[in-house]
A and B are shown apart, each in its own frame.
Chain A
């Protein structure tokens, strides 16, 4: 232990500034001088610097307390601080509240007066000469030599235990074998270990070579995936632009670049430089250009009316702020509108830094306009194609099978079809409405042939509602509307409007409950019209415009020749069976901008035929059959029309018609089409992609300070420059991004190495040595173990920025390997585990919970890289948010079980199963870790979780006999937790399993329903009851706190 060490305990200071624990630079003995950085600077920063800080704009007087010069400056016969002479220092009068002077901080700041202990600290500091120091993080890290007597103590353990000794504490024992196995596996690969791993470790403590296990994990391709998840949150990576347009991007090859870089253990300095300026490297490869996508991962604003020039400025600032947060640990964004209030970063410094990113060859446009692009072909897409091709083949085969299986029932129906089609066959049933009403008072009159006429009501817009008699037809699959011209109408067209035209803006089929007040809109999926014209407003014309709620679109025949009748046919998404339970109404909304263009004579019919029958105006197959019967009757009077008389072409049409109504075929066909779409997408992904990257434009843009941060309010012009506060400007001026990247990872840069080491520490401990990973400035927290942080930062650089080395350093320490349980006393003493007297216990990130349950159950698809997949998510989330513009289609086949890293990330609607995660809108480095009921619901009911539970249950059930319940319970428990349940736990599991088994034995259909989840294959019925009970128990085990926690 170094002799110069001395430690002061300042519990009262800690209270005064709201800290629980201060950073500790070392030192024991009450007579030590006050440490400015640790004890005084936070007091000044929290209480004084808002008005007496670096920001000239908000400085209320000449007094500055952010520099020693300012503090001791002569303010006209007196000074705030007179070194060595507390009695002459005006500052003390102000903070003590002496009579006659204003108490500081003033009441209007809503800050409390300083505590007596804080005042004592400041007094002592002045008495001791008011020594100033650089803020800790702006001074280069120094690795102190570890004394020889420490022996081969792990350096981390040396620093941590030295601190604990002073606190009178000691480290906890090493965590149990299974706990450590899991901890390492989560931390290094993001996956739970396989149950078999534990037996490979060795029986007794001294047989276990943990470093070998660490090496195995570091060599796993899953290591890179795990680290990439960290980096992607910081990089605000997403598969879409964000904002209103939220267009899809093709930047996923960059994500794969990141995974590969971590797996190849690319030195972090190179990793940084390539992402900053891969394009500027000599003989840059495509991969190096690809790396620069990092700085194009920000959101792109395609909002209508948005000025791209303004967006472009936003992007430049976003890049700058991201560099600040992720590499430098500085809240640079604060200097956007004014000089930084707490850190010595002027607004001009800030804009000088933005200059490096200001001449990218970009316009600020979004989507396809977001140049510069790199045309890039990924080699990682092939597995997706192969997988999907297999799925498609399977689906096509099962569709063919369904068709064959259906042949008998179809043939059996043919006779009945001939009966139905006996002339006079009416494929469409004309509606004689049982009631009619309108919104604006137009009077409707019904005639014997179903034709309805409207009077010339002068209404500008109107809606017609026609009630369908409940006995009209057995079910409705389509609606036909005929619109008639008539000599009595204006200019003999379709309406009484001046133009004689009509515009139908929306058509709806609604069911109103008779007993309750519900109204259900049935969705119409298609509209096919005899002819489509063009309205005076060109958005009117197409019949498909009647399917939305938008009165700006709709059907008109204007500009087309006037016919006696115009026809449009609507297909229902799903047939509506008329049960008489509700009132069925057809609504014809005519809310166009063109006044009075309301249908004056029309007729509505419905049909019960599905498929092509309601997708075009062509005769339905049944109509054709009826025509064939008529034809035969005419040519061979008296001869009966038999099945053999059906022409082959018509028979196949009838079969098609039959299949559209045949449920097994519908299901199989939908899956087959989905697989085909998926294959198509995978093939596209294997082609040339446009990845957004950095590229300089030919002429540089001038960079200005933006007054108050307003994008087009130009202040002084600035030259590219790096932050003087971080390190001295190098002799050769830094001119471009490449030099900037090198400056970021320069050995002289005091921040980057510390910041990155802190990130990695945070991954494994749940919190960093600096608890504010994005703020190493004056308002950030000071390190809990400053010497350790410095030692690791120096070690990291000295080992060539070797991340695997850093990881190995951390996880081979005893500090890391401690048991994470906590006594009441220690919890009270150190609730946030800042002293590291125990291991870290925190809930796993939601993505890791998903990946681990896939791994544990055996469902996990371990393919690395490739285009994004669509993991299960509840229906309708995208449709709701984007009004149907985007539809989420979950991936079929093994692609479904890829790691969360590969799931499609829509910026405006993050995957719903990630109940707390970074937003990926701006750079985020603080983990979100919450505990809400929504998590519980997700982990209980998400399809992935249920599939994993069923698969785990099935796997274990396959290994043990049906009679051996306790073996199965133990097997599942061990698969998830790498340990056996204790007696208490087993008793509880047995109890709940028994209850479930009893229930499912009596309710076989419930058991079947429970195990039929997602896309899993059907189960033989002898296993159903056991599987259901086991599955529910598996779900219980997977929801245990221990299962979802880094212990």
Chain B
């Protein structure tokens, strides 16, 4: 039996219950239920892959700080001082190389817009980080910057789908689902893959599609469960008014017992799973509020994560939740912060997004480190693509912005077996093409799988007659140079 089957059998050990009645009939249901709870799970549904993890993992869990919309590498990390001299000049065709543009700037002159921000070298490692991100700059020595990320999609939804599922069309499992499927959870009271969206009130019209954390062709028990930034973090979690917990418990006991009788009559193993899931639902009714009620956090937590962390549903508050989820052993925790799509007024907008995320992102790293959790927690910060060095709109006015750009962008990672204080890969003088050590999205996937102890080519799922992998069919490489 492999690890997945073992995990399933762990989940079968549901709290024993006592009986209210002693009638003969009641006994049958209760006995049947006991028998079922002792039953071990069947074989795993792993496709052609072997037992996972394939080797000892460096990271036990992932926190993915997804910055949706395409943060500008030029303003934040990829410092190109030479662009100042080229301001307003046409981007040379030799650099552009016939690159496709989005509908927004196609047919318009491509004039260089130097970065609106200023840069410093940071810490011992001397990584360049923008002054717009003072807190991230402070922890630069903890981070591993990859400045040569490459994707092949130029519009948001396909690019984000690619970034998360390895393919630009919908229907493939998201990275978190792959981990849930392969590795499961360390916490039986919570789902393996949890998703947190920043509450923006307004100001963004970029929806975050459910398929970004969908399980695709994997069984849907592996899909990300979105904790909502609302009164009910999980839909339908709260029992109706007037139904106290002890009555719910009794009702579920009765339900499970009659189901157990039915299982004996029909022989259908699916009924046993159903009993388990009703039990998990009952446990989540307790574990989820405990998770999301952050009033037990000391004042210092909020000081560290910044003033916005007091506002429920904000990115900063979600960073605190991410740490709480990590503490509870959840395998894959994914935050989404939208509205990095700055086609115009980049200065004003981009700084606003930096304010939303800078302090809390840095605080999360510091917090994990303080708690000794950074070494086995992999944190990833990044969006679906970068932005073009050419200005969009009036390049020389505060109105100026940048169009989408797939040929290079920057992400960073921390903890979980990656080197700290390094910068990997580089772009050309324009931050247009990744020219040194390009890292394709699928290489990132291969690397993250590797850190979690999985060899990407041996981890697949058979669907519609094909063996699918997160890294797809084109060759992908593990970026060994950034592994600690």
Q: Which of A912, A928, A1041 has a CB less than 8 Å from the CB of B271?
A: A1041
Interface residues as binary, B152-187 with A (CB distance below 8 Å gives 1, 0 otherwise): 000111000000000000110000000000000000
Is A305 positioned at the interface, with any CB of B under 8 Å from its CB? yes
Question: Closest residue of chain A to B314, judged by CB?
Answer: A519
A933 to B21, CA, bound (A): 28
CB pair B465 A775 closer than 8 Å: yes
A1005 to B243, CA, bound (A): 11
A310 to B297, CA, bound (A): 50
CB pair B466 A779 closer than 8 Å: yes
Interface residues as binary, B296-329 with A (CB distance below 8 Å gives 1, 0 otherwise): 0101011000000011100000000000000000
CB pair A1036 B251 closer than 8 Å: yes
A549 to B315, CA, bound (A): 14
CB pair B262 A1010 closer than 8 Å: no
CB pair B202 A883 closer than 8 Å: yes
Question: Closest residue of chain B to A826, judged by CB?
Answer: B267
A940 to B242, CA, bound (A): 14
Is A795 positioned at the interface, with any CB of B under 8 Å from its CB? no
Is B3 positioned at the interface, with any CB of A under 8 Å from its CB? no
Is A780 positioned at the interface, with any CB of B under 8 Å from its CB? yes
Is A634 positioned at the interface, with any CB of B under 8 Å from its CB? no
Is B86 positioned at the interface, with any CB of A under 8 Å from its CB? no
A1013 to B243, CA, bound (A): 12
Interface residues as binary, A569-596 with B (CB distance below 8 Å gives 1, 0 otherwise): 0000000000000000000000101000
Q: Which of B203, B242, B263, B299 has a CB less than 8 Å from the CB of A1028?
A: B242
CB pair A935 B247 closer than 8 Å: no
CB pair B267 A1041 closer than 8 Å: no
CB pair A548 B201 closer than 8 Å: yes
CB pair A516 B295 closer than 8 Å: yes
Is B229 positioned at the interface, with any CB of A under 8 Å from its CB? yes
Question: Closest residue of chain A to B280, judged by CB?
Answer: A933
Question: Closest residue of chain B to A245, judged by CB?
Answer: B205
Prevailing SS type, chain A contact patch: loop
CB neighbors of A among B245-277 (8 A): 246-247, 250-251, 253-255, 257-259, 261-263, 265-271, 273-274, 277
User: Which residues of chain B are within 8 angstroms of A922 by Cβ–Cβ distance?
Assistant: 170-171
A946 to B236, CA, bound (A): 12
CB pair A940 B236 closer than 8 Å: yes
Question: Closest residue of chain B to A506, judged by CB?
Answer: B201
CB pair A883 B204 closer than 8 Å: yes
CB pair A551 B352 closer than 8 Å: yes
CB pair B295 A995 closer than 8 Å: no
CB pair B202 A822 closer than 8 Å: no
User: Which residues of chain B are within 8 angstroms of A822 by Cβ–Cβ distance?
Assistant: 266-268
Is A877 positioned at the interface, with any CB of B under 8 Å from its CB? yes
A518 to B295, CA, bound (A): 7
A875 to B221, CA, bound (A): 24
Is B97 positioned at the interface, with any CB of A under 8 Å from its CB? no
A780 to B170, CA, bound (A): 20
Given known contacts A18-B462, A934-B235, is B207 in contact with A876 (CB within 8 Å)?
no
Is A559 positioned at the interface, with any CB of B under 8 Å from its CB? no
| Range, interface on chain A | 35 or more
Is A726 positioned at the interface, with any CB of B under 8 Å from its CB? no
Interface residues as binary, B91-113 with A (CB distance below 8 Å gives 1, 0 otherwise): 00000000000111010000000
CB pair A989 B281 closer than 8 Å: no
Interface residues as binary, A790-818 with B (CB distance below 8 Å gives 1, 0 otherwise): 00000000000000000000000000000
Question: Closest residue of chain B to A775, judged by CB?
Answer: B464
User: Which residues of chain B are within 8 angstroms of A989 by Cβ–Cβ distance?
Assistant: 254, 258
Task: For the complex formed, measure the closest distance between the CB of B338 and the CB atoms of chain A, giving whole angstroms.
Answer: 8
Is B345 positioned at the interface, with any CB of A under 8 Å from its CB? yes
Task: For the complex formed, measure the closest distance between the CB of A1010 and the CB atoms of chain B, giving whole angstroms.
Answer: 3
User: Which residues of chain B are within 8 angstroms of A988 by Cβ–Cβ distance?
Assistant: 21, 25-26, 29, 254, 257-258
User: Which residues of chain B are within 8 angstroms of A1009 by Cβ–Cβ distance?
Assistant: 240-242
Task: For the complex formed, measure the closest distance between the CB of A872 and the CB atoms of chain B, giving whole angstroms.
Answer: 11
CB pair B250 A992 closer than 8 Å: yes
CB neighbors of B among A991-1035 (8 A): 991-992, 995-996, 999, 1003, 1005-1013, 1028, 1032, 1035
Q: Which of A512, A884, A996, A1047 has a CB less than 8 Å from the CB of B266?
A: A1047
A774 to B217, CA, bound (A): 14
A87 to B41, CA, bound (A): 46
A885 to B241, CA, bound (A): 30
Question: Closest residue of chain B to A825, judged by CB?
Answer: B267
Is A230 positioned at the interface, with any CB of B under 8 Å from its CB? no
Most chain B beta-carbon contacts within 10 A, residue among A243, A822, A987: A987
Interface residues as binary, A598-613 with B (CB distance below 8 Å gives 1, 0 otherwise): 0000000000000000
Given known contacts A937-B236, A1036-B254, is B220 in contact with A932 (CB within 8 Å)?
yes
A931 to B225, CA, bound (A): 14
Task: For the complex formed, measure the closest distance between the CB of A1031 and the CB atoms of chain B, giving whole angstroms.
Answer: 10
Is B197 positioned at the interface, with any CB of A under 8 Å from its CB? yes
Task: For the complex formed, measure the closest distance between the CB of B25 and the CB atoms of chain A, giving whole angstroms.
Answer: 3
CB pair A1010 B221 closer than 8 Å: no
CB pair A306 B235 closer than 8 Å: no
CB neighbors of B among A755-810 (8 A): 772, 774-775, 779-781
CB pair A1010 B254 closer than 8 Å: no
Is B244 positioned at the interface, with any CB of A under 8 Å from its CB? yes
CB neighbors of B among A896-952 (8 A): 908-910, 912, 916, 919, 921-922, 928, 930-938, 940-942, 946
CB pair B262 A1040 closer than 8 Å: yes
CB pair A908 B235 closer than 8 Å: no
Q: Which of B297, B311, B352 has a CB less than 8 Å from the CB of A519?
A: B311
A936 to B239, CA, bound (A): 12
CB pair B103 A1013 closer than 8 Å: no
Question: Closest residue of chain B to A916, judged by CB?
Answer: B220
CB pair A549 B311 closer than 8 Å: no
Q: Which of B211, B259, B343, B464 has a CB less than 8 Å from the CB of A1040?
A: B259
A551 to B206, CA, bound (A): 17
A199-207, A346-354, A978-986: which lies at the interface:
A978-986
Interface residues as binary, A452-480 with B (CB distance below 8 Å gives 1, 0 otherwise): 00000000000000000000000000000
Given known contacts A110-B458, A303-B155, A1006-B244, is B205 in contact with A937 (CB within 8 Å)?
no
CB pair A779 B465 closer than 8 Å: yes
CB pair A841 B202 closer than 8 Å: no
A906 to B263, CA, bound (A): 37
Q: Which of B24, B202, B246, B267 has a CB less than 8 Å from the CB of A884?
A: B202
A1011 to B236, CA, bound (A): 17
Interface residues as binary, A306-320 with B (CB distance below 8 Å gives 1, 0 otherwise): 111010000000000
User: Which residues of chain A are within 8 angstroms of B458 by Cβ–Cβ distance?
Assistant: 110
Is B199 positioned at the interface, with any CB of A under 8 Å from its CB? yes
CB pair A912 B235 closer than 8 Å: yes
Is A304 positioned at the interface, with any CB of B under 8 Å from its CB? yes
User: Which residues of chain B are within 8 angstroms of A303 by Cβ–Cβ distance?
Assistant: 155-157
Question: Closest residue of chain B to A781, judged by CB?
Answer: B465
CB pair A1010 B242 closer than 8 Å: yes
User: Which residues of chain B are within 8 angstroms of A985 by Cβ–Cβ distance?
Assistant: 25, 29, 258, 261
User: Which residues of chain B are within 8 angstroms of A936 by Cβ–Cβ distance?
Assistant: 274, 277-278, 280-281
Given known contacts A548-B203, A1009-B241, A1009-B242, is B25 in contact with A984 (CB within 8 Å)?
yes
CB pair B20 A932 closer than 8 Å: no
Task: For the complex formed, measure the closest distance between the CB of A463 and the CB atoms of chain B, giving whole angstroms.
Answer: 11
The 17 sampled A-B contact pairs (Cβ below 8 Å) are A110-B458, A246-B207, A305-B103, A305-B155, A305-B403, A305-B404, A517-B302, A550-B202, A781-B465, A841-B268, A875-B230, A935-B277, A941-B239, A987-B23, A987-B26, A988-B29, A991-B254
Other than A517-B295, A1006-B243, give 15 A-B pairs with Cβ distance below 8 A.
A305-B103, A307-B103, A342-B465, A517-B302, A552-B203, A841-B270, A908-B209, A932-B220, A934-B236, A938-B235, A940-B236, A942-B236, A987-B24, A1006-B242, A1036-B255
| Chain B contact residues, CB within 8 Å of chain A | 20-21, 23-26, 28-29, 48, 102-104, 106, 155-157, 170-171, 191, 197, 199-211, 219-221, 225, 228-232, 234-244, 246-247, 250-251, 253-255, 257-259, 261-263, 265-271, 273-274, 277-278, 280-281, 284-285, 294-295, 297, 299, 301-302, 310-312, 343, 345, 348, 352, 398, 403-404, 457-458, 462, 464-466
